Chains A and B, each alone.
Chain A
């Protein structure tokens, strides 16, 4: 069986700063994997290596059995299979919500305008912002923007979705809407790799939780194991700080 994501001995340096120090892990199709860990642990860099927004210094990245890190790989083609949702949404501010979801369909997948619009409306409806079709991102709340961003990625029919701290830039009262959409996606069987600080989400939705610290994977297991019964002291101390910030 082909893994949805397979990472082998991944290293990433920024200058002399070694952010990833040899990562090996896989995500199976349909799995929801949450990556948790303190800031600076390399979890966002790991995610960005999966669609080559960062070029690994060493190691191999496979998506659906296709090696992205191969020198002859068509990166654009494999990126189309991988949807990415950013912490800062990164919607295109000069386009309406609908156009945001349409443009890559038209320009990358060569779908007709009509087809792209139908698919865009379906996806905007799915994430609950169909009524904001003709608004520009600047007019939308953070939660609405992030849901449009999810619709934008979904419209490309990705086999895998990457979420890079999707709720970290949101006001607390808007986090729930975005998590609800992600939960729905998980239930539909979407393969998801999620970097998050939302422990509740990780515990309830994730099939697996990966704890990273200092550029390596410290613990990898079911949510119940990693969050409920961590074996490593580093994991325990991180969870204590996250779950009981008042001490």
Chain B
């Protein structure tokens, strides 16, 4: 923290210097603003290099490689890492996302409905499912319901339970995104559609929603990334070798091998999906920006 402050201080000082240049000050120190900036930058680079060198010298590299970046342990994770763990993670995520998308859209439309009970139900749902930890929803669906109703089983077994749990939580967040998107479409769009004789539902479907969904692509993709990570909560339901996913597989292998490399590999696999996803969204947004 102190080091960080030390790096920031010269900057702040510099800002004052450049915005309110006075003739007296450079004379007092004998340095021009440009020289001061050079010195300030020099200090910042020096601190950075110093920290790098310190980390390089102090870290126990052989141990780190052996325990976190062990090639042999990592190789042992293939191909199960992709064929089972990643595949299941993707199935959980996509299934949960589809449920969340549809339910979220319905909730958003209810929230904007002119029928008061619909608005109330949607609001209550959103507040509850946004306020609860996802873990509680998982436990309620996985254990709560089967305990209360013996023999209760969701279609798809673990897959169904995870998809529903993820979907129920995601719907609450997505509903709010959809609502914001719908309200961000200018009022004139609805008026133009109605003046052409479209009924309210038709105008919503053909004119408002296509624009609203484009507006909310960034938050919706963010939700996809969150779900992708939240799918790891399935471990609470007890997964088998066939239904394991990335986090569980990583932690199981870590314990099994008494080596932390599998956790790093599992983590890297998450990034393998999330980073390109972020990239795709930025491209989509840029293309949309040109279209508008």
Contact = CB atoms under 8 A, between A and B. Distances in A.
Interface of A: 51, 53, 76-77, 79-80, 82-84, 86, 88, 90-94, 103-104, 107-109, 136, 138, 149, 152-153, 156
Contacts of A136: 291-292
Given A90-B192, A92-B207, A103-B206, A138 B199 contact: no
A164 B173 CA distance: 39
A79 B214 CA distance: 29
B194 interface: yes
Given A108-B196, A136-B292, 18 more contacts: A51-B195, A53-B191, A76-B199, A79-B197, A80-B196, A80-B197, A83-B195, A84-B195, A90-B186, A92-B193, A104-B196, A107-B202, A108-B197, A138-B291, A153-B195, A153-B196, A156-B196, A156-B197
Contacts of A104: 193, 196-198
Given A88-B188, A90-B189, A94-B210, A138 B197 contact: no
Contacts of B291: 93-94, 136, 138
B197 A77 contact: yes
A154 B179 CA distance: 33
Interface of B: 186, 188-189, 191-199, 202, 206-207, 210-211, 214, 291-292
B188 A107 contact: no
Contacts, number: 66
B197 A93 contact: no
A88 B192 CA distance: 10
Given A77-B197, A80-B197, A107-B202, A93 B292 contact: yes
A80 B194 CA distance: 9
A149 B195 CA distance: 12
A77 B196 CA distance: 10
Given A108-B202, A136-B291, A90 B188 contact: yes
Given A88-B188, A93-B211, A94-B214, A138 B196 contact: no
Nearest to B207: A92
8 contacts: A53-B195, A90-B186, A90-B191, A93-B211, A94-B291, A103-B207, A107-B202, A138-B292
Given A90-B188, A136-B292, A138-B292, A79 B202 contact: no
Nearest to B199: A76
Cβ-closest 9 pairs across A and B:
A80-B197, A104-B196, A90-B192, A84-B195, A90-B188, A108-B197, A138-B292, A79-B197, A94-B210
Contacts of B292: 93, 136, 138
Contacts of A51: 195
Contact of B188 (A76, A86, A153): A86
Contacts of B193: 92, 104
A86 B194 CA distance: 13
B198 A76 contact: yes
Given A76-B198, A136-B291, A92 B189 contact: yes
B197 to A, nearest CB: 4
Contact of A94 (B188, B194, B197, B211): B211
Query: Which among B188, B192, B198, B207 has the highest number of chain A CB atoms within 10 Å?
Result: B192
Contacts of B192: 84, 86, 90-92, 149
B178 to A, nearest CB: 16
A152 B197 CA distance: 12
Nearest to A149: B192
B150 to A, nearest CB: 50
A138 B291 CA distance: 7
Given A92-B207, A107-B202, A136-B292, A79 B195 contact: yes
